Structure 1
Amino acid sequence: MEDEQIAKPEALPRGFVWGAVKAGIKASGKLDLAAAVPVKGATAAAMFTKNQLVAAPVTVGRKHLLATGGRVGAVLVNAGNANCATGQPGIDACTQTCVAAAERFHCIFDEVFPSSTGIIGVPFPAEKVVAAMPALQAALGDTPAHAELFARAIMTTDTKMKVMRAVVDVDGAEVRIFGAAKGAGMIHPQLGAPVGPPHATMLVYLFTDVVAESAELRALLEPAVEMSFNSISIDGDTSTNDTVLLLASGASGVKLTERSSEAFASALKLVCGSLAHQIVDDGEGVGHVVTLHVMSARTEAEAKQVAKAIAHSPLCKTAWSSGDPNWGRLLAAAGYSGVAFDPALVKIRIGEQPVFELGVRAAEFDKDAAHAVMMEREYTITLEMGLGEAECRFLTCDLTEEYVRINADYST
C-alpha cells in the first residue's frame, strides 16, 4: 500500500452527485441551497457543536443518524439562515425540508441529513427550500463543476470556496477523499459526539468511496477532527451549527482493513488539516495566520489550554494585526490559562527570534527582527513550557478593524 497523495482535480469519490441552486434564502441572490446525494446510500459518522444552544438541523441530524444507525441517503444544506433559536417551528420547518428531499432523492425520511448556516433567530423559510427541490435535483451531477457548486453554495462571509482532495492507493485500487468546508467567522469549533450532554458556523463535508461501517468511520474521524478543526480559532466563538460529516459510498469496493486504515487515516488528516487551514486563512478580516506551537507541556490537553488562552486574547490578537512583538501579552495569557507552570522555565520565540527566557526578556531579543517576522502572512510563535514532553499546534489569526466592521453590521 502506498502513501496518500494529493488528488488530481478530477479525482472525486465515486458514488456521489453534488449540486446547488438559488432558492432565494440569501439576500444577495447567490447560490444558497446545496445537496450531496450518495447514489446508493452511504454510511456516515458525524461530530457536532458542543454549544448548549444548537440549531434545528443539528437536533434533527443527530436524531436521524441514531434512527438509521449511520445511514445517509441525502445531504441538504442551506446558507443564509441558521435555523437556530427558532423553537418548534424551526424543527418543523427542518423536518418539512427533509420530507421533501426524501421524496425527491428517493430515500427514507430520516436518511436525509440537514445543515444550515447563516443568521440566528430568523424564521426559517422552508417553503423556499421545498419549492427549489425540483431544480436542485436537476442540478445534480458527478463532475468537478458540480462539486464546486456545492462548495460555493454553502458559503456565507467566506471569500473563497474551501475544498481538498486526496487519493489512497490500495494494492493498485484507488480510494478517493473529497472535502468541502465553509467558515470565516464564529470559528472556534468544539466538536464532539452526536449524542450526549449539550455543550457564522463551520460546516465540513467529507466524502469517500471506501467501504466502511459507521463505527469505523467514527474511529477515523475523531482523531482527524481533534488535530484539525478542534485546533483552530478565528475569534473564540463556538457556533450553534458546527458540523463535520464523513460519508462513505463504498463505490470503490475497497474495504478498510488493518493494513489500509493507517494510510486512509493519514489521508483523511491531510484533507481535514488543509480545510482547517483554509478556514483560518479566509477568516473575516484576517491579515496574519499564526501557529501557536506549545511544547514541553505535561499533557496535550494542557498544551492546548495554553494555546487557546493566547489565541482568544484580544490583546494578543490585536498586537498581531500590526506586527507588534509584545511578548508580555503572550506570557500573561498563558499565565491565566489555568495551567500551572514556572515562568522561569518558559522560553518564547517569534519565528526563530528568541524573545523570552529564564524569566526575563531574552538577551538576544531583536524587536525589529521579531516585527519583521510578524509582518509575514504566516508565522509560528513557540512556547516551551519546561514541564514535560507533550505538545500541540493550534492555528489562529489576528483581530482587525475589518473583522469588527463585518460583525458590527452582520444582521443589518
Structure 2
Amino acid sequence: MRVAMKVTEDLPGGFLWGSAKAGIKASGNADLAACLCEGLAQGAAMFTSNQVVAAPVIVGRRHLMATGGRIGMVLVNAGNANCATGQAGIEACEKTCIAAAESFGCIFDEIFPSSTGIIGVPFPADKVVATLPELKASLGNTTGHAEGFARAIMTTDTRMKVAQASFAAGGTEVRIFGAAKGAGMIHPRLGAPVAPHATMLVYLFTDIEADSAQLRELLPSAVDRSFNSISIDGDTSTNDTVLLLASGASGVRLDERTEENFAAALASVCKTLAYGIVDDGEGVTHVVTLHITGARSEYEARQIAKSIAHSPLCKTAWSSADPNWGRLMAAAGYSGVEFDPAQVTVKIGEEPVYEGGMRSAAFDEARAHAVMQRRDYVISIDMGQGQAECMFVTCDLTEEYVRINADYST
C-alpha cells in the first residue's frame, strides 16, 4: 500500500475536479470547488452531531435519502458556512443546487452541497450561481485540478490536506484520493451515515465499484478511529461532513475478496488526513498523541483522552513544554471514568513521570521537557484496568490561536 501527503498522478478514475473565485472569501482566493462524477457515483456521508446544523447539511441529507446515495456532483464553497441563516439559507442552498444541476447536466438532488466559513451571515447564492460557468470550465482530472479543489475549500488552513492510497486487485489498481480542510472548531463527533442529526470537511474519492449500502457499512469504522479521534479546541462544528464517493471506474467490485484491502486503504487515508488537520491547527506548535491503554473499554479510554485533550491547563502546559503531569491526572480524574490512581502509569515519550499514585522515582524533569519541545510526541497513560486502548491526536493552545479566533468575524 502507498500513502502520500501530496497529490500524485495516481488519482482515481471517474472524477473531474475544479475550482474558481466567487468572491466569497475576503482574501480573494479561490472559494468555490466542484467534483463532477463522470456518470454517477455511489456515496455515503457522515455529518456533525451538533444540534445546530448548517443549511447544506440539511439539504445534503435530504438529497442522499432521496437518491439512495446517488451523487452526480459535489459543490463546496468556503468563506460562508450558511449556518443560522434560517429558511432563506436553505432556499439559497437549494438555488445553487438547481443552478449547478442545470449547468453541469445533473438532477438537482444529485448535487451534494457543502459550506464552510463564518456562521450567521446571509449566504451569497447569486455569487455562486454567477461563477458556475467558470467553475465548469475549470474541470479536469490532473493533479493540478485535484490540488485546486483541495485549496479552494480552505479557510484558516495554511496548507492543503490531501492523501492517497492504492492496492492491487486481480492486476488492477484501486485508488483512493482524499481532500480535507480544517484548522479550528475541530472536535468532530460524526454520527451514523445519513443520520437525522470553522469546520471539518472531508471528501474521499475512490474508483472501486460499490453501492451506497456497502459504503455506509465501511465508513463509520474508518471515521471513528481517525476524525472522531482528534481535537484541536473541543468545539464541534455545525458543518462537519465526511463524504465517500465510489465511481466504479476501476471495474473492481467491493466484495469479500477486496473488502479488507479497501478498508485498510480507506483507514490509512482517513488517519493521514485527520493528523494533517491537527498538525495545521490554528496556532499549533505541538501535536500530542494521547495513547490510553489498560482501560476497561475503548469508550472509557476515549473519554479519558478527550478530558485531557480539552483541558486548557494541559493544553497551555504543552505549549511551553512544561511536564506538569499533575494536570494530566486531574483531567483524567474528572473524565467520569472510575479508576484507581495507584494503578495508573504515565510516560511522556519514553520518560516515566507518574506511577504508584505519585511522581515516578525515575522522573527527570529536564528529559521530559526535552521530549515536549519536539513538534510531535506521545503521552502514554496506562489505566491498569483492562485490555482496551485508544489513540487520540490533539495539540497545544497558544496565543496565536486566541488571536486568530478573537478577530475571526472582523
TM-score bracket, shorter-length normalisation: over 0.9
Contact 2:64–2:194 (Cα < 8 Å) also in 1: no
Rounded to whole Å, the distance in 1 between the matches of 2:86 and 2:26 is 23
**In structure 1, what is the equivalent of residue 285 of structure 2?**
287
Unaligned runs of 5+ in 1: none
The aligned runs of 1:5-404 (5 Å cut-off) are: 5-6=2-3, 9-196=8-195, 198=197, 200-404=198-402
1:178–1:397 Cα change, 3 Å: same
How far is 1:196 from its partner?
4.0
**SS of 2:354 mapped into structure 1:** strand
Contact 1:62–1:194 (Cα < 8 Å) also in 2: no
Rounded to whole Å, the distance in 2 between the matches of 1:196 and 1:166 is 28
Rounded to whole Å, the distance in 2 between the matches of 1:282 and 1:320 is 16
How far is 1:195 from its partner?
4.1
**SS of 2:103 mapped into structure 1:** helix
1:72–1:174 Cα change, 3 Å: same
Rounded to whole Å, the distance in 1 between the matches of 2:192 and 2:260 is 22
1:176–1:196 Cα change, 3 Å: closer
Aligned length: 408
What does the per-residue CA deviation read over 1:286-322, in whole Å, with 9 as the maximum and x for residues that have no partner? 0000000000000000000000000000000000000
Rounded to whole Å, the distance in 1 between the matches of 2:405 and 2:265 is 35
Instruction: Report the residue type matching 2:330 in the other structure.
Output: A
Unaligned runs of 5+ in 2: none
How far is 1:191 from its partner?
0.3
1:373–1:187 Cα change, 3 Å: same
What does the per-residue CA deviation read over 1:14-71, in whole Å, with 9 as the maximum and x for residues that have no partner? 0000000000001111000000011101000000000000000000000000000000
Instruction: Report the residue type matching 1:398 in the other structure.
Output: D
**SS of 2:36 mapped into structure 1:** strand
What does the per-residue CA deviation read over 1:150-194, in whole Å, with 9 as the maximum and x for residues that have no partner? 000000000000001111100110101000000000000000124
Contact 2:44–2:194 (Cα < 8 Å) also in 1: no
Rounded to whole Å, the distance in 2 between the matches of 1:254 and 1:103 is 31
Rounded to whole Å, the distance in 2 between the matches of 1:121 and 1:36 is 26
How far is 1:259 from its partner?
1.5
**In structure 2, what is the equivalent of residue 405 of structure 1?**
403
Rounded to whole Å, the distance in 2 between the matches of 1:41 and 1:132 is 23
CA RMSD of the aligned region, Å? 0.8
Rounded to whole Å, the distance in 2 between the matches of 1:273 and 1:220 is 15
How far is 1:6 from its partner?
2.7
Rounded to whole Å, the distance in 1 between the matches of 2:194 and 2:165 is 30
